[in-house]
Amino acid sequence: MQQEKLTNIYTVSRLNRHARLLLEGDLGAVWLTGEISNLAMPASGHWYFSLKDNQSQLRCAMFRGNNRSVGFRPKNGDQVLIFGKVTLYEPRGDFQLVAQTLAPAGEGLLKQQFEALKNALAAEGLFATERKRPLPAHPARIGIISSPTGAAVHDILTVLARRAPQLEVILYPSQVQGESAVPQLIYALNEANRRNETDLLLLARGGGSLEDLWCFNDERLVRAIAASRLPVVSAVGHEVDVSLSDLVADLRAPTPSAAAELISADSSVQRRQWQQAGQRLEQAMLRVLADRHNRLGQWQQRLERQHPRQRLQQQSQQLDQLQLRLERAMGRRLEQAQQRSSQAALRLAHQHPGQRLVHGTERLATLEQRLHGALQARLNRLEHRLALAGSRLHAMSPLATLSRGYSITLHNRTVLTDAGQLKENDVITTRLAKGEVVSRVETIKPA
């Protein structure tokens, strides 16, 4: 029994590594929102900060490879939304989050809420293909739930007037944006079902931002669409905009105009079967892709636990921590040195050296006078020596010889000293004290 206990003793490093693997395996990647504080951005390019709310705070690290994709420069006090991996910084045993994405709170939080509600409703089967109903083959009357002054209604009526002028249209007016839009949309949907005067309903709105279209992601409206006895076609926003109303409706159209074309198009049995088969295929592919995505995520987590990047990140973070400690220590040393310097200055001030400054000033003035005199005397001597050297140099200069009536004869820029250096018809140049004479040799008399 005693031996078994001894074999289960952990070292600190082993315990921290075990704790890190447990955290990364059980929690994995999470979404987190809070306020940034204690932000540090060392020269390595990594970011270190704390994320806090009213009651708690959490250490966070975002390494250079991930923070390059952040579209803004965070600062202390920013409210942010973070997606990252829960882990443990082994050298210090710190519980922390390694951030992979970082965005300002707001639109990012709406997207997170959208995904959470979508997953919850999908788990209930509200988006399942099996519960979607086919549209009537030949509708005689349709109901439109939208704003009567919006562009969506105008686009729908224009298409229907061109493609199916015999089709009757009933408008159930409602706001399609803002806080009061959800209860009005639900009321219009229930009223259309109660009156039961149309063959199908068209829920329509033009494009807009995520906030503008947010009422169509409300859980109450989604459940009301799911409970409708009349088939519902959802045409909210542009083609790239996908709302929860689109997912729960019996048919989703990319735009209001496209919805009008689908309603007024040829709706033979074969066409409906193709459409339904396409929807079933799409749902099946989405399920397969989701399953593969989950499996890929599991394999990726396993690979990341064994990836050398994990240890490199730990060591890089440790290096940054040491660098920050060094910078703080150097700051303290500089502060102490400044304090000592200030104290020394105070002590010197108490021993005022005014008298020594007066004597030093007088001595400096005397030395300056002596130095000026010595420099002037040396300059005079040097000027005299320079004048003498100039006189000697001038006396030895060939130009001085020329001034006394002599001349210099050159051939091809070479000074002539022997007549044998020339031949007849050679051109020679004779340089005088003033000017030059160019001649041609006619006769040569050797010495």
Asked which of 46-55, 236-245, 393-402 is least confident by mean pLDDT, the reply is 393-402
Task: Encode pLDDT of 161-214 as tens digits.
Answer: 888 888 899 999 999 988 889 999 999 999 999 999 999 999 999 888 777 888
Give the confidence band of 1 by pLDDT, cuts at 50, 70, 90: very low
For residue 266, pLDDT beyond 60:
no
pLDDT at position 5: 55
Distance between CA atoms of 135 and 234, rounded to whole angstroms?
A: 12
Higher pLDDT, 247 or 418: 247
Please give the Cα distance from 43 to 290 (Å, whole number). Answer: 40
Please tell me the distance from the alpha carbon of residue 200 to that of residue 223, in angstroms, as a whole number. 17
Cα Dmax for the chain? 144
Range 131-144 average pLDDT? 90
pLDDT tens column, 56-66: 999 999 999 88
* pLDDT mean over 37-48: 92
Helix/strand number for the chain, H first, E second: 13, 14
The answer to whether residue 415 scores a pLDDT higher than 80 is yes
What is the DSSP pairing of strand 57-62 with strand 94-104? parallel
Q: Which DSSP category does 264 fall into?
A: H
pLDDT classification of 270: cutoffs 50, 70, 90: very low
Query: What is the reported pLDDT for 106?
Result: 64
Share of the chain above pLDDT 70, in %: 91
Span 372-400, pLDDT tens digits: 888 898 888 888 888 888 778 777 766 66
Question: Lowest mean pLDDT: which of 2-16, 78-92, 278-292, 324-338?
Answer: 2-16
**54 has pLDDT over 90:** no
Residues 6+ apart with CB under 8 A from 386: none
pTM above 0.85, yes or no: no
Least confident of 31-35, 225-229, 343-347, 384-388: 343-347
Distance CA 103, CA 67 (A): 11
Residues 312-370: pLDDT tens digits?
777 788 888 888 888 898 989 999 988 888 888 777 766 666 666 777 788 888 888 88
Sheet holding 251-252, edge to edge: 168-173, 141-146, 200-205, 232-236, 251-252
pLDDT given at position 141: 93
3-state secondary structure of 233: strand
